[in-house]
Homo-oligomer: A and B are copies of this chain.
Amino acid sequence: MAWDKVQALVFDVFGTVVDWRSGVAREAAPFLARHGRRDIDPAAFADAWRSHYSPSMEAVRSGLRPFVRLDVLHRENLEAALRDVDMDPAALPPAELDALNLAWHRLDPWPDALEGLARLKARYIIAPLSNGNIRLMLDMAKRAGLPWDAILGAEVAQAYKPMPEAYLRTAEVLGLAPAEVGMVAAHNGDLAAARQCGLKTAFVRRPTEHGPGQTSDLQPAQDWDAVADDFGQLADQLLG
């Protein structure tokens, strides 16, 4: 079967392993309250912040800007999100913005993630292949107990997904052919790019990543090599 030759599983993280929206909202709430903006829904603020995520990486992907780690983009995007809700970032203490920026380092895993990863780790090398930088992934793993074998991803590859280099350099660092690596993600676009590079693909449904009204990535868009509702199901299928 497709998974027989796979030696390493690499994981999208934001949305696939951890619940970024609740985690960012949890840390944004006291910040917004402290600055007199209890009228803003913290989850909507998380969405606003995240809405700048892909455009900010596009400047790097297109070559307009040299590679910078995601912490730097998140910090810039925080200022943009504040302006979106008519708050002036220049009027806020920089140390508070720096602290809020670390919300992305303190996200909680989905309830099934730790146990599923522990099971998968017994047979496979497991590592993040996230656009998050090394220190971000490290802090998140240390806090939550994510049992990665190594921290891989955009900063190691010096390329942001879905650029082919992000997938191909990750396989190369692992000393593996692309077909010996499986990409696990809740996002059809990520998997499509991984498949184009020759990786095996596993889709895990995360239907509330974007909140209760989510409309995207509810179903697999292609015949991915595995499809599961959570990491427990994924482990059942891959470890069969």
Contact = CB atoms under 8 A, between A and B. Distances in A.
Interface of A: 71, 125, 133-135, 137-138, 141-142, 149-152, 155-156, 173-175
A175 B151 CA distance: 15
Nearest to A175: B135
Contacts of A134: 150, 152, 156, 173-174
A149 B128 CA distance: 13
Contacts of A173: 133-135, 155
Nearest to A121: B142
B175 A71 contact: yes
A149 B141 CA distance: 8
A20 to B, nearest CB: 19
Question: Interface SS of chain A: helix, strand, loop or mixed?
Answer: helix
A177 to B, nearest CB: 13
Contacts of A71: 175
A10 to B, nearest CB: 12
Contacts of A133: 173
A156 B137 CA distance: 15
23 contacts: A71-B175, A125-B138, A125-B142, A133-B173, A134-B150, A134-B152, A134-B156, A134-B173, A134-B174, A135-B173, A135-B174, A135-B175, A137-B150, A138-B149, A138-B150, A138-B174, A141-B149, A142-B149, A150-B150, A150-B151, A151-B151, A155-B173, A156-B156
Contacts of A141: 149
Contacts of A142: 125, 149
Contacts of A150: 134, 137-138, 150-151
